[in-house]
Amino acid sequence: MNWLPVIQRFREELRAADAASDAQRRLQLLSLLAAHRLGLVETLQLDRALFKSAGLDIDGFARVRVAVVGSATLDHLAPAIRVAALRHRLLLDVHTGGYGQYRQEILDAGSPLYAFTPQVVVLAVTANDAMGDVPVTATEAEVSAALTHAVDEMRALWRTLRDRLKVTVIQQTLLDRSLPVFGSYDRSVAGTPSHMIRRLNDLLADAARSDGVLLLDIEQHKQRDGIDAWFDVRRWLQAKQEIRPEAAALYGELLVRIIAAQRGMSRKCLVLDLDNTLWGGVIGDDGIDGIILGEGSAQGEAHLALQRYARQLMDRGILLAVCSKNDPAIAEAAFRDHPEMLLRRADFAAFVANWHDKAANLEAIAAQLNIGIDSLVFVDDNPIERARVREALPMVAVPELPDDPAEYATTLAAAGYFEAVSFTSEDRARVELYAKESQRTALLSESKSVADFLRGLDMTVEYGQFGSNDLVRVTQLVNKTNQFNTTTRRYAAEEIAAAASTSAYITLQFRLRDRFGDNGLVSTIIFGPNDEPATYELENWVMSCRVFGRELEFEAMNIAVETALRRNARGFFADYIPTKKNVVIKDLFTSLGFDRVSGGTVTDQPSRWFLDLSRYVPRQTSIARRGAA
């Protein structure tokens, strides 16, 4: 985990953090410690300090209940999982299943697994246990039958879990620690363990994708790190540990990345330094012809590899930005004029080259892109700049870089900042969306008034209840939207699906098109049942920051009221739960004509609201409609 910085005086720092009297401050300090490269003993020490915070609800640290069940010994993974979670600003309650007990634990509704009421269940099954005993002499037909049976059995367990719990299921890929039977010829014999494990992992991945189960792909990591990094046969013989204790920290990190990604906590923007990061040398001193970049020089190719990786991330929807101490004209010219430059000026959603403090520039970049500072990753070769940004903005991810540029791209990739649990058409189109956004901004500056601007956009909202095709995008939007989010309630995919198919709920999704293109599915509302007769509870309302200031919230409420009136409702109840990020909607309910029922008199206090539908006055907007709900 070489992207994490080393820590010099761990014992002293831990003691100081442990002694903090304020629970929130204490947890923040422990979280900062968790963001370092820790050994086995240090991880256990940090976990012990964390125990004092067990059961506390602390602002800024969401709680998640995670059960890991399987066929090997799992207890030793729990501390590393909790410490990894702390690094990601999550507090995990971890339950580990008994050795070899996962089938009984899942099938028996009275087992400790269900008593724990997990929100996430991880199936950490060994290859032997999943496949059963298949002899190496088995025919192709026998092997296929055995693998199909193994997949069916796993799917049945997933289904049992999800029938009984509203739970996210994570299937761990099978760790191939088999020994070669023939050698290179193993691939040509259906019944060899390595051949069967590879096929079963592929089948499990397909089944998981179609069943909405997430994968924890430790086999992928093992293939890169080597079996010895993950498995120590002595620990298996002594304690039936399939993951060796030295690998527990990485295991925890990989698992928590998935849990954090599902909650919308992955990073969104890669901010890059220029000199000695995107190219070798200092362009202000060396000139455009003097920098080291591109084919023909090993170091030049190393910097190019980082550009190529940044470009791949951009293509999957990650925003790129520049933050460099440079003359802006010289820096921009490099992207325009250098023949080997892979990235172009237009690839960067934000481009900041000046002589100011980088922490201040990073704040400006986040503000310009309308994303949180905790969405940024900052890559800089200069250890002083890195230390300065970590100190001033601990929520920015700053990978430690090795001395050799050859390892920049691999280190950034290993850090896994951009973990995803889905890949939607919105992700594919995001880069283009941001480019269109700058065209819209140009229209705004030409328009005489905001009303002119909005009319000039030729907007149409397409709306409806959640359809089965929308569920992935709806889940993603609900869980990663932080600004326009009335309750910041997070939903598992299963809960979204349940709401969509329950008649007591009204679910609404909105897509917004304008003359520059389709903004995609940008807003969702979930109305649930309320104890008051003929009323609905506005459980959650989110809107992408891309479409702020378009009056979509007014048109959405017009549609919501009409839909509810058709169901003979008389009112909406709603909560506004303030967070650090959703102040942008603090006056939302007032502006829509809701009356305050209670709360909200003190800053940061949640407030409760009611809308009497018979008195609702629809707002005129410049948005045409298409759809039905």
DSSP classification of residue 375:
G
Residue 15 or 356 with smaller CB distance to other proteins: 15
Only one of the segments 25-33, 99-107, 153-161, 241-249 lies at the binding site for other proteins (rule: CB under 8 A); that segment is 241-249
Rounded alpha-carbon distances, angstroms, from residue 595 to 34, 248, 565, 585, 600: 45, 52, 18, 15, 12
Given CA atoms 36, 37, 40, 41 in this order, what sign does their dihedral have? negative
Q: How far is the CB of 262 from other proteins (least distance, A)?
A: 30
Which listed residue (54, 141, 179, 237) binds other proteins by CB under 8 A?
A: 237
Q: How far is the CB of 12 from other proteins (least distance, A)?
A: 13
Residue 75 or 211 with smaller CB distance to other proteins: 75
- Binding status of residue 226 toward other proteins by CB under 8 A: no
Only one of the segments 41-49, 316-324, 329-337, 426-434 lies at the binding site for other proteins (rule: CB under 8 A); that segment is 41-49
* DSSP-derived secondary structure for 314-344: HHTT-EEEEEEES-HHHHHHHHHH-TT--S-
Which listed residue (245, 517, 593, 599) binds other proteins by CB under 8 A?
A: 245
Nearest alpha-carbon partner for 380 in 294, 266, 278, 267: 278
Residue 46 or 265 with smaller CB distance to other proteins: 46
Which listed residue (22, 152, 202, 246) binds other proteins by CB under 8 A?
A: 246
Only one of the segments 23-31, 168-176, 237-245, 448-456 lies at the binding site for other proteins (rule: CB under 8 A); that segment is 237-245
Please give the distance of CA 110 from its chain centroid, rounded to a whole number: 33
Which listed residue (117, 139, 223, 238) binds other proteins by CB under 8 A?
A: 238
Only one of the segments 26-34, 215-223, 231-239, 494-502 lies at the binding site for other proteins (rule: CB under 8 A); that segment is 231-239
- Binding status of residue 234 toward other proteins by CB under 8 A: yes
Which listed residue (89, 235, 303, 390) binds other proteins by CB under 8 A?
A: 235
153: Cβ–Cβ under 8 A, 6 or more apart, which residues?
A: none
Decide: helix, strand or coil at residue 573. strand
Q: How far is the CB of 234 from other proteins (least distance, A)?
A: 5
- Binding status of residue 45 toward other proteins by CB under 8 A: yes
Only one of the segments 35-43, 287-295, 312-320, 617-625 lies at the binding site for other proteins (rule: CB under 8 A); that segment is 35-43
Look at strands 506-514 and 517-529 and give their pairing.
antiparallel
Residue 472: how many other CB atoms lie within 10 Å: 18
Residue 88 or 235 with smaller CB distance to other proteins: 235
Residues from 68 through 97 that contact other proteins (CB under 8 A)? 75-76
The helix or strand, by DSSP H or E, that contains position 478, with its residue range, turns out to be helix 471-480
Nearest alpha-carbon partner for 130 in 153, 107, 113: 153
Rounded alpha-carbon distances, angstroms, from residue 372 to 93, 207, 215, 472, 611: 27, 35, 27, 23, 31
- Binding status of residue 44 toward other proteins by CB under 8 A: yes
Residue 68 or 397 with smaller CB distance to other proteins: 68
Q: How far is the CB of 100 from other proteins (least distance, A)?
A: 17
Residue 244 or 358 with smaller CB distance to other proteins: 244
Residue 29 or 270 with smaller CB distance to other proteins: 29
Residue 14 or 331 with smaller CB distance to other proteins: 14
- Binding status of residue 195 toward other proteins by CB under 8 A: no
- Binding status of residue 48 toward other proteins by CB under 8 A: yes
Rounded alpha-carbon distances, angstroms, from residue 163 to 109, 156, 360, 503, 627: 11, 10, 49, 19, 33
Residue 42 or 93 with smaller CB distance to other proteins: 42
Burial of 587 (C-beta count, 10 Å sphere; 0-12/13-18/19+): exposed
> Which residue is listed with tokens 């256990």?
44
Query: Distance (Å, rounded) from C-alpha 55 to C-alpha 52?
Result: 9
Query: Distance (Å, rounded) from C-alpha 624 to C-alpha 437?
Result: 20
Query: Distance (Å, rounded) from C-alpha 24 to C-alpha 9?
Result: 22
Which listed residue (8, 21, 41, 329) binds other proteins by CB under 8 A?
A: 41
Residue 39 or 60 with smaller CB distance to other proteins: 39
Q: How far is the CB of 75 from other proteins (least distance, A)?
A: 6
Q: How far is the CB of 53 from other proteins (least distance, A)?
A: 16
| Residue 570 near residue 614 (C-beta atoms within 8 A) | yes
Query: Distance (Å, rounded) from C-alpha 554 to C-alpha 557?
Result: 5
Q: How far is the CB of 126 from other proteins (least distance, A)?
A: 18
Write the interaction track for other proteins spanning residues 7-26; mark x where CB under 8 A is met and - where it is not: ----x---------------
Residue 14 or 271 with smaller CB distance to other proteins: 14
Nearest alpha-carbon partner for 46 in 58, 36, 56: 36
Residue 153: how many other CB atoms lie within 10 Å: 12
Q: What is the 3-state secondary structure (H, E, C) of 11-35?
A: HHHHHHHHHCCCHHHHHHHHHHHHC
Q: How far is the CB of 73 from other proteins (least distance, A)?
A: 9
Question: What is the contact surface with other proteins in residues (CB under 8 A)?
Answer: 11, 39-42, 44-45, 48, 75-76, 234-235, 237-239, 241, 244-246
